[in-house]
A and B are shown apart, each in its own frame.
Chain A
Amino acid sequence: MSPTLTDANLAASDPRDGLAVLEQRGSTAETFGIPLAVLAELTHRCPLQCPYCSNPVELERGGSELTTEEWKNVLTELAQIGVLQIHFSGGEPTARKDLVELVQHASDVGLYSNLITSAVLLTREKLSALADAGLCHVQISFQGNEPVVADRVAGFKHAHQKKIEVARWTRELDLPLTVNAVMHRQNLFQLPDIIQMAVDLDADRLEVANVQYYGWALRNRAALMPTLEQIEDTSRIVEEAQARLKGTLAIDYVVPDYYALRPKKCMGGWGRQFFNISPAGKILPCHAAETITGLEFESVRSNHSIAWIWQNSEAFNRYRGTGWMPEPCRSCEFKEIDFGGCRCQAFALTGDAGNTDPACSLSPRHEQIFKQAESEAAANNNRFIYRNFAGGTLEAGGDHGA
Chain B
Amino acid sequence: MAGLRSRNISVSEASRPVLPRHAKLKFDETRQVWVILAPERVLAPDEIAVEVLQLCDGVCSVEAMIDQLAEKYSAERGAIATDVIAMLQDLADKGFLTEAREKTS
Contact = CB atoms under 8 A, between A and B. Distances in A.
B42 A4 contact: no
B6 interface: yes
Interface in B36-55: 36-37, 39-46, 48-49
A84 B43 contact: no
B39 A2 contact: no
Contacts of B37: 84-85, 112, 136
A170 B67 CA distance: 38
A336 B74 CA distance: 47
A5 B43 contact: yes
A176 interface: yes
Contact of A4 (B6, B35, B45): B45
B33 interface: yes
A180 B40 CA distance: 13
Nearest to A22: B31
B4 interface: yes
A2 B96 CA distance: 18
A9 B30 contact: no
Interface in B2-40: 4-8, 20-22, 24, 26, 28-33, 35-37, 39-40
Contacts of A205: 39
14 contacts: A3-B46, A5-B44, A5-B96, A7-B43, A18-B42, A18-B44, A25-B30, A27-B31, A28-B30, A33-B31, A37-B40, A136-B37, A204-B95, A205-B39
Nearest to B27: A110
Interface in B42-90: 42-46, 48-49, 87, 90
A237 interface: no
B39 A21 contact: no
Given A5-B36, A22-B31, A205-B39, A176 B46 contact: no
Contact of B46 (A2, A26, A84, A244): A2
Contacts of A6: 43-44, 46
A248 B42 CA distance: 21
A89 to B, nearest CB: 13
Contacts of A84: 26, 28, 35, 37, 42
Nearest to A205: B39
Interface string A128-167: 0000000011010000000000000000000000000000
Contact of B22 (A2, A9, A26, A137): A137
Interface residues of A, number: 42
Given A8-B35, A84-B28, A204-B22, A22 B44 contact: yes
Contacts of B44: 5-6, 8, 18, 21-22
Nearest to A3: B46
Contacts, number: 108
B4 A37 contact: no
B94 A22 contact: no
Interface of A: 2-9, 18, 21-22, 25-28, 33-34, 36-37, 81-82, 84-85, 110, 112, 114, 136-137, 139, 174-176, 178, 199, 204-205, 244-245, 247-248, 250, 252
A137 B7 CA distance: 16
A25 B32 contact: yes
Given A204-B22, A247-B93, A36 B42 contact: yes
Contacts of A174: 21
Contact of B94 (A5, A139, A178): A5
Contacts of A252: 40
B42 A8 contact: yes
A248 B6 contact: yes
A275 to B, nearest CB: 15
Contacts of B39: 114, 136-137, 139, 176, 178, 204-205
**Residue among A8, A114, A137, A175 having the largest count of chain B Cβ atoms under 10 Å:** A8
